[in-house]
Amino acid sequence: MAADQRWRGVVSALDDPARRVLYARIVLAADAGAPLHAEALDPADARRLRVLTASGIVTVTGEVLLPGEIFGALLSSGAPRVPSGPERFLIGGRLRGLPRRARDRAELFGWVARRVLTPAERLGERELTARLAEFADDPVALRRQLVDAGELTRSPDGTDYRLAEA
């Protein structure tokens, strides 16, 4: 399982109250210096143990049950990267709404405009709309907003678009 997704298996394993009780017994026994042994478990706890070991919460060494190192491993893997800048307004790489603050909207519009056009490029309406569709469910509205915000300019006859000059 990918390092950043292992937590799902841990949470799923600990979602069951009976597995949490078994895990607590294993931890307390290990801390007391008298670890539990797998052969001492009843059949129901043996089934629960399989889930705990599969998620890494418990390790079995011989027949001795010990708490696993999964929590330390998950904590040391670091927090997921939180997007910053204009990317914080995208979900899965797509624009799901516009920021409320005008300054954030301007930053986002400038960022999108520079992603779809290079400074020397001129695009027709269809091609620009197709590129904007990578970012928004309504690329036509986004195109209009980019023009209204002054990030893109449209030729007088409306046939092509380019980045506005800074």
Q: CATH code at 60?
A: 1.10.10
Decide if pLDDT at 1 tops 50: no
Q: Are residues 131 and 159 in the same domain?
A: yes
* Calpha distance 143→147 (Å, rounded): 6
Decide if pLDDT at 9 tops 50: yes
Q: Tell me the pLDDT tens digit for each residue of 80-106.
A: 677 788 989 988 889 988 999 999 999
Q: Are residues 89 and 72 in the same domain?
A: no
Q: Are residues 47 and 96 in the same domain?
A: no
The pTM for the full model equals 0.54
Q: Are residues 22 and 68 in the same domain?
A: yes
Last residue of a domain, one of 55, 76, 97: 76
The range of the structural domain enclosing residue 43 comes to 3-76
Q: Are residues 151 and 131 in the same domain?
A: yes
Name the nearest CA neighbour of 70 among 31, 14, 22, 125: 14
Last residue of a domain, one of 46, 76, 106: 76
At 3, is the pLDDT very low, low, confident or very high (cuts 50, 70, 90)?
Answer: very low
Last residue of a domain, one of 49, 76, 103: 76
What pLDDT, on a 0 to 100 scale, did the predictor assign at position 6?
Answer: 81
- Asked whether 23 and 50 are in contact (CB, 8 A), the reply is no
Burial 125-141 (b: 16+ CB within 10 A, else e): eeebbebbbebbeebee
Q: Are residues 119 and 159 in the same domain?
A: yes
Between CA 11 and CA 79, with CA 68 as vertex, the angle to 5 degrees is 55
What pLDDT, on a 0 to 100 scale, did the predictor assign at position 73?
Answer: 82
* Calpha distance 43→60 (Å, rounded): 16
Number of domains in the chain: 2
Q: Are residues 115 and 52 in the same domain?
A: no
Q: Are residues 52 and 95 in the same domain?
A: no
**160-163 and 152-154 as β-strands: parallel, antiparallel, unpaired?**
antiparallel
Q: Tell me the pLDDT tens digit for each residue of 15-32.
A: 999 999 999 999 999 999
Q: Are residues 71 and 98 in the same domain?
A: no
Q: Are residues 68 and 104 in the same domain?
A: no
Q: Tell me the pLDDT tens digit for each residue of 49-61.
A: 999 999 999 999 9
Q: Are residues 89 and 71 in the same domain?
A: no
Q: Are residues 89 and 63 in the same domain?
A: no
Fill in the DSSP letter of residue 108: H
